[in-house]
Amino acid sequence: MDNKKMASILDKYDRDMGQLVPILQDIQAEENYLPKDSLVQVGLGLGISLSQVYSVATFFKAFSMKPRGRHLINVCMGTACHVRGAERVLEKIERASGIDAGDSTDDGRFSLETVNCVGACALGPIVVVDGDYAGQMRTDKVEKMLKKYE
């Protein structure tokens, strides 16, 4: 991220270290992940150590330290989804996309992650792509779902 854009984000929050989480959220919204050089700039701009910035950036699962794909796929692995076959759905998505949970496709199209619960247990298993919920997901629905995002 260029220095001007970083300064704009830091200034938006008055360079207040108490606003570290929203600062990191803005950077991730801009970059699609948290690049190391941006974290260094945040530390310098807020007058805090890089280790403090990293501790917050790595604590929250919502932050990514590596580039994410254009489309984020979240597979709910909560109890209700798990007992209804979420593991099989996840395996099918991994095979169809060619990536494992926690990774992104080489072309930058998809990132695949698991989550503990999305709060829609009655519709499980649930897959969320870019905020769109696909309930009662089955392995035979996976490829059609992925094609929507090509």
Q: Which pLDDT does position 20 carry in this prediction?
A: 98
Strands annotated E in 1-150: 71-76, 110-115, 127-129, 132-134
Q: Are residues 16 and 41 in the same domain?
A: yes
Closest-CA residue to 46 (of 27, 30, 71): 27
| 85 and 17 fall within a common domain | no
For residue 75, give its domain range.
Answer: 71-147
Q: What angle do CA 61, 129, 89 make, to 5 degrees?
A: 90
Give pLDDT, residue 61: 82
Same domain for 49 and 101, yes or no, is: no
pLDDT by 10s per residue, the chain, length 150: 999 999 999 999 999 999 999 999 999 999 989 999 999 999 999 999 999 999 999 999 889 999 999 999 999 999 999 999 999 999 999 999 999 999 999 999 999 999 999 999 999 999 999 999 999 999 999 999 999 988
Same domain, 31 and 98: no
Backbone conformation region of residue 119, classed left if phi is above 0, alpha if psi is from -120 to 50, else beta: left
- Residue 64 forms part of a structural domain: no
* pLDDT at res. 150: 81
